[in-house]
């Protein structure tokens, strides 16, 4: 029995489990943020453009069965808007950050005296060491 408890302790304290837990919590808060952007900003904007703020009232009846196709339209619009928000507010900025190139260093250290010298220098100004 102690071996099982030891294995569970190792699993819980493993970085992957903790990373997963943090990811779930961040994902849940991100989901509510995106839902609020869609519900509070984008859906009313579309409603103002097409003059219908909620499609859930759109239905038709066929042989006594009620088809609520408006709910499907709401789900499709919501999916599209969420995708747009995620793309433009998460994916594009993350790709931009990922593609930023670090600026090349304009100085380097002299191997002899460890002073900072211009990266183009071939000889240290402080100690006269030849730099390769």
Mean pLDDT of 21-41: 83
CATH number for 2-98: choose from 2.60.40.10, 1.20.120.160, 1.10.1200.120, 1.10.1060.10.
Answer: 1.10.1200.120
- Per-residue pLDDT for 11 more than 80? no
Q: What is the pLDDT of residue 64?
A: 92
Residue 1 — very low, low, confident or very high, per pLDDT cuts 50/70/90?
low
- Per-residue pLDDT for 132 more than 80? no
CA-to-CA separations, 26 to 93, 97, 98, 105, in angstroms, rounded: 18, 20, 20, 36
All CATH 1.10.1200.120 domain ranges of the chain, comma separated, are: 2-98
Mean pLDDT of 109-129: 88
Q: What percent of the chain has pLDDT over 70?
A: 98
Neighbours of 112 (CB within 10 A): 13
- Kindly give, in sequence order, each residue whose CB lies less than 8 Å from that of residue 123, ignoring residues fewer than 6 positions away: 129, 130, 131
Neighbours of 43 (CB within 10 A): 17
Q: What is the pLDDT of residue 61?
A: 92
Q: What is the pLDDT of residue 63?
A: 92
Neighbours of 124 (CB within 10 A): 20
Q: Specify whether the CB–CB gap between 74 and 56 falls below 8 A.
A: yes
pLDDT tens-digit readout, 42-66: 778 887 888 877 778 889 999 999 9
């Amino acid at each position: 029995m102690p071996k099982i408890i030891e294995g569970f302790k190792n699993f819980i304290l493993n970085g992957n489990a903790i990373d997963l837990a943090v990811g779930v919590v961040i994902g849940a808060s991100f989901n509510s943020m995106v839902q609020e952007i869609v519900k509070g900003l984008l859906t009313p904007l579309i409603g103002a453009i097409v003059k219908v703020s909620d499609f859930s009232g759109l239905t038709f009846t066929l042989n006594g069965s009620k088809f609520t196709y408006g709910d499907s339209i709401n789900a499709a619009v919501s999916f599209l808007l969420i995708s747009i928000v995620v793309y433009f507010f998460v994916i594009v900025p993350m790709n931009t950050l990922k593609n930023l190139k670090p600026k090349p260093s304009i100085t380097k250290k002299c191997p002899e005296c460890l002073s900072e010298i211009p990266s183009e220098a071939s000889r240290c100004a402080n100690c006269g060491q030849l730099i390769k």
